[in-house]
Structure 1
Amino acid sequence: MNSKNINWGIIGAGKIASKFASDLITVPNCNLQGIASRSIDKAKNFAQKFNADSAYGHYEDLASDPKIDAIYIATPHSFHKSHTILCLNHKKPVLCEKPFAINLLEVDDMIQRSKENNTLLMEAMWTIFLPHFRYVLELLEKKYFGSIVKLEADFGFHPNYDESSRVFDKSVGGGSLLDIGIYPVFAALSSLGHPENISATAKFFDTGADSECEILFQYKNAEAHLKSTLLEETNTEAIFYCEEGTIKINGRFHEPSTVTLIDKNGNSELKSFNYKTIGYSYEIEHFNQLIRINKTESDIMTFEKSRQLIKTLDTIRNLIGLQYQK
């Protein structure tokens, strides 16, 4: 296997960038070359913490640095398109944090620019690369317990209300749906495909960002009950009720977790996956290898998967009356 070293840059120096960097330095044959932030002091502190060679106070400086082989974008949702295109125009492979962008139009623009520049682009939907999630998808595909009858998936936590926080700021795509509701939606699309019908209701903060969203996907022979909320802690599980048993991804299902198999007689078996990292290492390894073999699109997190995901989120937003100013 090609083991060429990959020098990474990160745009954005927040919480998720720190988690990503923590895992990046555990992955063989790659390193954190540079970090860019609007605050040069923040970038320097981040670089020092993770032993990066370079810190930049302007994103353009990182994107144009010839030493950088790949860029991870960890800025708020509303900036994903512009930052992605900046990097792609410099022929830099981009791993862009989810959601890929604010809407399908933006995602299509990003994909088009990737193709025009013949440069790798992938949405950082890390869940699809995690061994426990892939294990469950394989069981479901093989109909281990028969066909799925119902899926229940939720993601909820209760942050302190702060209108200045990205999570509550509608102008940058804040709210429960794009931030955490994307995971239950992705679980349904990955296991059941696109639904025949979607219905949704929501609650809102004073900022206009959605505080909670309840979604129903209806299929010919199954239903998916999905929920995202910033008003309470939830179990954050994905439970697949099948004809002959139940497959449960225990909380928190979107990150490294365990799986419980329960047969029709109530016998249960717990499956563990011996995780040693936060979980970002799996998508990093995949992306590194895509670069090494000169791929411009992932065969796992494909452009079409990203398009279907954001298209579904657009539909839900329309149903609950959530619009972003662009």
Structure 2
Amino acid sequence: MTEQNVRWGILGPGGIANAFAADLKLVPGAELAAVGSRSAATAETFAARHGFARAHGSYAELAADDDVDVVYVATPHAFHLEGALLCIEAGKAVLVEKPLTLDLPTSAHLVQAARSAGVFLMEAMWMRCNPAIRKIAELVADGVIGDVASVHADFGLHGPFEPSHRLRDPKLGGGALLDLGVYPLHLAHLVLGTPASVHGWAKLTPENVDETSGILLGYESGAVAALTCSINGESPNGASISGTLGRIEIPPGFMVPRSFTLHRPGQDVETFEFPFEGTGYQFEAAEVQRCLALGELESPLVSHTTTLEVMTLLDTLREQMGVVY
């Protein structure tokens, strides 16, 4: 695919698919090929709005479209597995909105299905593809802030949401953890890896999904990560990574930053800026295209191992919190 466009399909034309489609136009070589919905009318409206060449009235029709190379699965969490398997079985590369599925067993099943079929699969953890986050990971790996001592991150939305909202529906994987908490967890995992100790607590909604959650992770190195998420309390949505030689501060919107600051004792504060157009989804799409051009079946930025390790944490936390889907 090095000399031709990558033909994109979108499965599930909802809100996040609209943002992704708009950013896809910023990616060189990305062709807006087709969209699939359970409603032909919805697919046609979405295709017309964003300029997709074809609209399909079912997910199966999209998966069977020979003029699609890769499909972005943008359905609610509970339907990721079904949609992604449909595309994998049709030989399509797949980018699946985070989290990959609702739990570790189904995520492992999806990874194995992709590997067996020899097709590309990536969880759409756009934060890990963001230029600022990639630079932060580089600085930490190079020891610029010394040994990491702590990670602090929060992601909270102003609520409350109505009982009928998907964020409060356990059948749809509702709650703060999978929608919001996954970002602080991925940030901690990015710089510290897998923890030795996992502790989570949550206030549950009447529907038994987590409304506000606190997470404390401990690592063999002695580092800690203190993370929070909420669907009923807007927080600063910032993050910091502290080390023995300095600190990195990520401003509000840490999951899609355009800048960050580096603080070191006795030195001027350094500001790193990464301005970009759009919302930020274009970076994960570009990474998918880079991998496809090289014939890779997974991305080093969001590897299968990374996805499964974070999903293991999510399962452990949900069990501690008493959340069942």
TM bin (shorter chain): over 0.9
- The amino acid across from 1:264 in the alignment is P
Following superposition, the deviation at residue 159 of structure 1 comes to 3.8
1:60 and 2:43 aligned: no
1:236 aligns with 2:230: no
Q: Is the 8 A contact 2:251 2:257 kept in 1?
A: no
Cα distance in structure 1, aligned partners of 2:162 and 2:204: 14
Residue 304 of structure 1 is matched in structure 2 by 305
Specify the alignment match of 2:257 in structure 1: 256
Preserved contact between residue 209 and residue 324 of structure 2 (Cα < 8 Å): no
- The residue identity in structure 2 corresponding to 1:293 is L
Secondary structure of the structure 1 residue equivalent to 2:314: helix
* Contact 1:251–1:257 (8 Å) recurs in 2: no
Q: Distance in 2 between matches of 1:114 and 1:30?
A: 22
Which one-letter code corresponds to 1:320 in the other structure? Answer: M
Instruction: Give 1:141-152 correspondences, 5 Å limit.
Output: 141-152=141-152
Q: Judge conservation of contact 1:200–1:215 (CA < 8 Å) in 2.
A: yes
Question: 1:211 offset after TM fit, Å?
Answer: 0.7
Distance 1:289 1:132 in 2: 19
Is 1:268 aligned to 2:266, yes or no? no
Percent of residue pairs identical: 34
Moved more, 299-308 or 155-164: 155-164
Displacement of 1:292 after TM fit? 2.2
Q: Identify the residue that residue 178 of structure 1 maps to in structure 2.
A: 178
Q: Distance in 1 between matches of 2:302 and 2:245?
A: 30
Range with greater deviation from structure 2 (88-97 or 40-49): 40-49
Structure 1 pair 224–266 and aligned structure 2 pair: CA distance change class (3 A): farther
Query: Aligned AA for 1:169?
Result: D
Conserved? CA contact 1:121–1:296, under 8 Å? yes
Coordinate RMSD, CA, aligned: 1.4
Aligned to 2:125: 125
Query: Does the Cα contact within 8 Å between 1:249 and 1:257 map onto a contact in 2?
Result: no
Query: What TM-score comes out, normalization by structure 1 length?
Result: 0.96
**Residue-by-residue CA offset, 1:102-128 (whole Å, 9 max, x unaligned):** 111001110111122111111111111
How many aligned positions are there? 324
Letter of the 1:229 partner, please give it: S
* Unpaired segments ≥5 residues, structure 2: none
**How far apart, in 2, do the equivalents of 1:149 and 1:299 lie?**
25
Q: Could you tell me whether the CA contact under 8 Å between 2:161 and 2:231 is conserved in 1?
A: no
1: distance between equivalents of 2:179 and 2:172?
11
In 1, the alpha carbon distance for the partners of 2:194 and 2:278 equals 32
Query: Partner letter of residue 200 of structure 2?
Result: A
**C-alpha deviation, 1:285, in angstroms:** 1.0
Distance (Å, rounded) in 1 between the aligned partners of 2:257 and 2:245: 26
- Deviation track 1:40-65 (CA, whole Å, cap 9, x = no partner) reads 22211111110111112210000001
Structure 1: stretches of 5+ with no match in the other structure = none
